[in-house]
Chains A and B, each alone.
Chain A
Amino acid sequence: MDFLLSINWIALFALSIVSLLFVLLHLLSKKTNRTITTLIALVFGAIVGIVFASENNSYLVWVGLIGDIYVNVITALAAPIIIVSIISSFVSLKSKQAVRSIGTRSVFWLLASAAGAIVLSLAAGSVFGLWEKSTVFDGIASVSDSTVEAYGDLKQSFDETLLGLFPSNIISDIANNNIVAIIIIAAAIALAYIGVSSSEGEEKVVSFKNLVETTKKIIFKILKVIIDFTPYAVLCLIASSAAAIFSDIDTILQLLLLVGIIYAVAFFHAYIFNGVLIKFAAKLNPVKFFKKIFSAQATAFTTQSSIGTLPVTIDALENKVGVSEEVANFTAPLGTTIGMPGCTCVWPVLLVMFFVNATGLDWGVSNYILLAVVTLVLSLGSAGVPGIAIVSSVAVFSALDLPIAAVVLLIPINTISDMARTLNNATCAAVSAAIVARKEGQLDDSVFNQEEENKTWQTKQKQVQQ
């Protein structure tokens, strides 16, 4: 009897139901394209999450594990992809000027998008008046000193943030997915290659180029296989998130308006603000563009990891939007560190405005300008991993001399908000890449105008096998 009672049978029941849904998704994938399959997976996942909502997600422990494995595997590919892609593409540019131009434009558009998110968040916070009678912070004194101290340790000063962007140890930078450092390392290798190649002749270094090209082919082959699993992972991840949200629904209901506004601002920025940029700066059809990057958005929404989404974003940019390899592999990764409007702009600005209004602090225009400047500066460097929004908000609260305990009280809505925020981050990175590609004359309109995925997965797999 003890054996029977020691096993979580409901978790196994949930796993078998999800496996059945996998079969259904597999059958659907033969008849529909990946976008539709991913959308259906989202719906299936939400239903599973609501049905199996439980304390500590105990019923979805195995289902969640499948999703986590996907996130880990795809995150593991991020650094190798960036390194080989940047070296490979910059080597083929054969010009330091082109590298500089792509770099400057990328930083400009990513920061422009972040600035837009800050303005939108300030406007939304003002329009809605953000909870002047909220009692959420009544318990602020009950947050223990040790908790506040632990969160306080998360914050970094601006000079520390800047220093952290540069490589200090190649191995640890790669291991920690320190994206800007990885980009710098890869770009330095590529520039050195160009230098040696032009001074001593390409034959001296061509074997290195061949090695990079071969490695790239292998890594992208692995990536292709992993990306095919996206809908299944989406189902598991969304089920896990939905269950976590529904098991703590009372806390979320208390802050429903805040969650609603975070979603509204994140989605408005992702689709309307970026839609305008895509239309006028990249000169592309926004609806078609968003349809083409949907797989990246769905991955971001469910994995809540900008770095984990990166391989999917790069794949969509290159193969569906028509962004050149050079720009896709430079701007999109940069967007997981610089900008990140959802996590480093929308979230901290709305939290600050919520706190200021709820506690009745007397803030003037100068305070809001300072908030905007501090947020923009901090958005210059942040890691694209789950939880970074907490670090950003702690840094903003600390810089504005507001109590960090207020951030702690709002953590219950972090997961549900993180889904929309990460979608916003991934969209912003993709949009910036498309604009940079257009400005650099590196956007292939014939790829963009191709009809979306007429071929089923089965046909594609046959092609891969051949």
Chain B
Amino acid sequence: MADKTKTSTAIKFTIILLILAVVFLVLSIVSANLSVSRTVNAIDTIGTVEFSNDSKGKIDLALKYYGELDTNLSLQSKVTNADELTAAKFEYVRLAIKNAYLADKNGGDEATIKEYIELARKSFDEYCSTGKCKNVSNYDDLTSLESKYSDGGADASQNTGSPEPAEEIELC
């Protein structure tokens, strides 16, 4: 009698585990697909890139979702508009550099210009990995501004806060 009860419990337990396994498998597939569509939608939401916190927030959110995609399942390759995200990053950096450039050209306050230059450098370091500076059309403007406004004016890289600026400039 006791053995029969134990066998019956074991069968019930096995059935529950089987159901759970199927449920988790389905949820795994669903969540993988959802994570891809969430990323695609976030990239679509970026729209026209502007040099604003709102635009940056949208790019960062899309990047966050893109980074969270499961690399073991190669989900990043399923993001159909990944190129748009890359383009948006470079465009944002271009606008940041342009902002600093215009501030300099219009003869603004030096502290403000330096702040814009730092912001542009920070955006570049955040969005452009080493060797990708060619994709930002006005990158040379940034290096020129950094040279102009650096203490001593000799080496731009010393005051930019960039981790490996020398290497990146060479690659350009």
Nearest CB of chain A from residue B160's CB, rounded to whole Å: 23
User: Does B34 sit within 8 A of A, measured CB to CB?
Assistant: yes
User: Does A92 sit within 8 A of B, measured CB to CB?
Assistant: no
A55–B70 alpha-carbon span in the complex (Å): 9
User: Does B38 sit within 8 A of A, measured CB to CB?
Assistant: yes
Given A23-B17, A59-B72, A13 and B31 contact (CB-CB distance below 8 Å): no
Select which of B10, B27, B38 is within 8 A of A9 by beta carbon.
Answer: B27
User: Does B35 sit within 8 A of A, measured CB to CB?
Assistant: yes
User: Does B28 sit within 8 A of A, measured CB to CB?
Assistant: yes
User: Does B21 sit within 8 A of A, measured CB to CB?
Assistant: yes
User: Does B1 sit within 8 A of A, measured CB to CB?
Assistant: no
Q: Which A residues are in CB contact (< 8 Å) with B30?
A: 4
Please determine whether A54 and B72 come into contact, CB atoms closer than 8 angstroms.
yes
User: Does A5 sit within 8 A of B, measured CB to CB?
Assistant: yes
Q: Chain B: which residue is nearest A14 at the CB level?
A: B24
A10–B25 alpha-carbon span in the complex (Å): 7
User: Does A20 sit within 8 A of B, measured CB to CB?
Assistant: yes
Interface majority SS (helix, strand, loop, mixed), chain A = helix
A27–B18 alpha-carbon span in the complex (Å): 16
User: Does B45 sit within 8 A of A, measured CB to CB?
Assistant: no
Please determine whether A16 and B35 come into contact, CB atoms closer than 8 angstroms.
no
A7–B28 alpha-carbon span in the complex (Å): 9
Please determine whether B24 and A4 come into contact, CB atoms closer than 8 angstroms.
no
Given A16-B17, A23-B17, A5 and B35 contact (CB-CB distance below 8 Å): yes
Given A20-B21, A55-B71, A13 and B28 contact (CB-CB distance below 8 Å): yes
Please determine whether B21 and A1 come into contact, CB atoms closer than 8 angstroms.
no
Q: Which B residues are in CB contact (< 8 Å) with A54?
A: 72
Interface bits A57-72 vs B (CB < 8 Å: 1, else 0): 0110000000000000
Please determine whether B13 and A23 come into contact, CB atoms closer than 8 angstroms.
yes
Please determine whether A1 and B34 come into contact, CB atoms closer than 8 angstroms.
yes
User: Does A17 sit within 8 A of B, measured CB to CB?
Assistant: yes
Q: Chain B: which residue is nearest A4 at the CB level?
A: B31
A30–B35 alpha-carbon span in the complex (Å): 44
Interface bits A11-24 vs B (CB < 8 Å: 1, else 0): 01100110110010
Please determine whether A17 and B10 come into contact, CB atoms closer than 8 angstroms.
no
User: Does B20 sit within 8 A of A, measured CB to CB?
Assistant: yes
Nearest CB of chain A from residue B94's CB, rounded to whole Å: 32
User: Does B8 sit within 8 A of A, measured CB to CB?
Assistant: no
A4–B28 alpha-carbon span in the complex (Å): 9
Q: Which A residues are in CB contact (< 8 Å) with B71?
A: 55
Interface members, chain B 70-112 (any A CB < 8 Å): 70-72
Q: Which B residues are in CB contact (< 8 Å) with A27?
A: 10
Please determine whether B17 and A13 come into contact, CB atoms closer than 8 angstroms.
no
Select which of B21, B35, B68 is within 8 A of A13 by beta carbon.
Answer: B21
Select which of A10, A19, A55, A58 is within 8 A of B28 by beta carbon.
Answer: A10
Please determine whether A12 and B72 come into contact, CB atoms closer than 8 angstroms.
no
Q: Which B residues are in CB contact (< 8 Å) with A12?
A: 20, 24, 27
Given A5-B35, A20-B18, A23-B17, A55 and B24 contact (CB-CB distance below 8 Å): no
Q: Which A residues are in CB contact (< 8 Å) with B31?
A: 4-5, 7, 9
Please determine whether A16 and B72 come into contact, CB atoms closer than 8 angstroms.
no
Q: Which A residues are in CB contact (< 8 Å) with B70?
A: 10
User: Does B130 sit within 8 A of A, measured CB to CB?
Assistant: no
Please determine whether A23 and B28 come into contact, CB atoms closer than 8 angstroms.
no
A4–B27 alpha-carbon span in the complex (Å): 8
Nearest CB of chain A from residue B19's CB, rounded to whole Å: 9
Given A4-B31, A9-B27, A13-B24, A20 and B72 contact (CB-CB distance below 8 Å): no
Q: Which B residues are in CB contact (< 8 Å) with A4?
A: 27, 30-31, 34
Q: Which of B24, B34, B35 has the most CB of A within 10 A?
A: B24
Select which of A5, A16, A17 is within 8 A of B38 by beta carbon.
Answer: A5
Given A4-B34, A5-B35, A20 and B28 contact (CB-CB distance below 8 Å): no
User: Does B14 sit within 8 A of A, measured CB to CB?
Assistant: yes
A155–B50 alpha-carbon span in the complex (Å): 56
Q: Which A residues are in CB contact (< 8 Å) with B21?
A: 13, 16-17, 20
A58–B28 alpha-carbon span in the complex (Å): 13
Select which of A13, A19, A23, A55 is within 8 A of B10 by beta carbon.
Answer: A23
A26–B17 alpha-carbon span in the complex (Å): 14
Q: Chain B: which residue is nearest A59 at the CB level?
A: B72
A52–B31 alpha-carbon span in the complex (Å): 17
Q: Which A residues are in CB contact (< 8 Å) with B72?
A: 54-55, 58-59
Given A4-B27, A4-B31, A20 and B38 contact (CB-CB distance below 8 Å): no
Nearest CB of chain B from residue A346's CB, rounded to whole Å: 34
A7–B72 alpha-carbon span in the complex (Å): 16
Please determine whether B25 and A5 come into contact, CB atoms closer than 8 angstroms.
no
Given A5-B35, A58-B72, A59-B72, A20 and B24 contact (CB-CB distance below 8 Å): no
Nearest CB of chain B from residue A236's CB, rounded to whole Å: 16
A12–B19 alpha-carbon span in the complex (Å): 12
A352–B72 alpha-carbon span in the complex (Å): 36
Please determine whether A20 and B17 come into contact, CB atoms closer than 8 angstroms.
yes
Q: Which of A17, A26, A55, A58 has the most CB of B within 10 A?
A: A17
Question: Could you list 30 examples of A-B contacts with CB < 8 Å?
Answer: A4-B27, A4-B30, A4-B34, A5-B31, A5-B34, A5-B38, A7-B27, A9-B27, A10-B24, A10-B28, A10-B70, A12-B20, A12-B24, A12-B27, A13-B21, A13-B27, A13-B28, A16-B24, A17-B21, A19-B17, A20-B14, A20-B17, A20-B18, A20-B21, A23-B10, A23-B13, A23-B14, A27-B10, A58-B72, A59-B72
7 closest residue pairs by CB, A with B:
A13-B24, A16-B21, A9-B28, A9-B27, A54-B72, A12-B24, A16-B20
User: Given contacts A4-B34, A23-B10, could you give 8 more A-B pairs where the C-beta distance is less than 8 Å?
Assistant: A5-B31, A5-B35, A10-B28, A12-B20, A12-B24, A13-B28, A16-B24, A20-B17
